Amino acid sequence: MRILVVEDDPILADGLAVGLGLAGMTVDRVENCADARAALATSAFDAMVLDLMLPDGSGLDVLGEMRRSGNRTPVLLLTAMDDTPDRIRGLDSGADDYLGKPFDLDELGARVRAIARRGSGRAAPRLSAGGVMLDPASLSATLNDTPLALSRREFAVLSALMERPGIVLSKSEIEDRLYGWQEEIESNAVEVHIHHLRAKIGRDAIETVRGLGYRIRAIS
């Protein structure tokens, strides 16, 4: 799951990146409105964590522009203000959720997962396809009710495919989900992860669509 964090306080931004990373998310950080706009224009995110008070403007402005231009990325607002009017204004500007500072990291992770899930059109917290069941909250997986050991990257690739069963994901789309900007993308990494996954959940579970990418079979 790829998340954009817009927060200008360096220590908090670092905490968000590392903390959400621990929850299995790939996090990109920007610290002002301008960079947030640029990031939204160039990459697709599963969710966005947005601070309200930014050095070059208000997070609400970015949110408003996003929604007007048809960007549907789920947004969680971080607010230092307790005022209910501010929260109402945030939600009415197109935010999906808010959290007041200081917050609990686990709660933030859960809320981000929830808005990302809703953003992808699902209501069930767990992903399932065939006999495979993924729990994004605990980063755990089972195959026919027996625990399945997956690496962080493998989990990310599999959940990307399972979010939309039957839809083809290109290699670069999968890479986007795996790597933040700072990370170097290893060539063949996606192929390697797919290879390992097939070894764990069965050869036919992931289908290669030549020239397009990969998709998960809905029925095993």
Partner 1 sequence: MSSLRGRLFAILLTATGVIWLSAVVWIYSGTHRELERVLDTRLQEAARMVNSLVGSANMTVAMAALPNQQFEPLGYERQLSCQIWSFDGRLVARSDGTPPGRLTEAPSGFSDRIVDGEPWRVYTVANETAGIHIMVGDRLGLRDRLVSELIKGLLAPALLIAPLLGLLIWISLGQGLRPLRAMANEVRSREADDVRPIDSAHAPAEVKPLTEALNDLFAKVETARRHEREVTAFAAHELRTPLAGLKTQAQIAMATEDPAVRQGALQRIVLSVDRTTRLVRQLLALTKLDAGGPPPTPETVPVGLVFDEITDNAHGAGPQVSVAIDPALRDLMIRASREFLTLALRNLHENAVQHSPVGGKIVWRATASGLGIAIEDEGPGIPEDEMALVTQRFFRGRHKSALGTGLGLAIADAAARRMGASLRLSNRLDRSGLQAEIELGA
- What is the binding site for partner 1 (CB under 8 A)? 8-12, 14-16, 18-19, 22, 32, 53, 55-56, 78, 80-81, 100-106
DSSP string, the chain: -EEEEE---HHHHHHHHHHHHHTT-EEEEE-SHHHHHHHHHH---SEEEEESEETTEEHHHHHHHHHHTT----EEEEES---HHHHHHHHHTT-SEEEESS--HHHHHHHHHHHHHHHTT---SSEEETTEEEETTTTEEEETTEEE---HHHHHHHHHHHHSTT--B-HHHHHHHH--TTSPPPTTHHHHHHHHHHHHH-TTTEEEETTTEEEE-S--
CA dihedral (171, 176, 181, 187) in degrees, to 10, reads -20
> Residue 6 or 174: which CB sits closer to partner 1?
6
Report the nearest approach of partner 1 to the CB of residue 38 (Å).
15
> Residue 106 or 191: which CB sits closer to partner 1?
106
Report the nearest approach of partner 1 to the CB of residue 153 (Å).
16
CA 23 to chain CA centroid, nearest Å: 10
- 172 SS3 class: helix
> Residue 15 or 202: which CB sits closer to partner 1?
15
> Residue 62 or 169: which CB sits closer to partner 1?
62
Report the nearest approach of partner 1 to the CB of residue 67 (Å).
25
Task: Give me 97's structure tokens.
Answer: 């959720």
> Residue 103 or 168: which CB sits closer to partner 1?
103
> Residue 49 or 115: which CB sits closer to partner 1?
49
> Residue 31 or 96: which CB sits closer to partner 1?
31
Report the nearest approach of partner 1 to the CB of residue 88 (Å).
18
Question: Phi and psi (nearest 5°) for 94?
Answer: 120, 10
Report the nearest approach of partner 1 to the CB of residue 199 (Å).
26
Report the nearest approach of partner 1 to the CB of residue 62 (Å).
17
Report the nearest approach of partner 1 to the CB of residue 152 (Å).
12
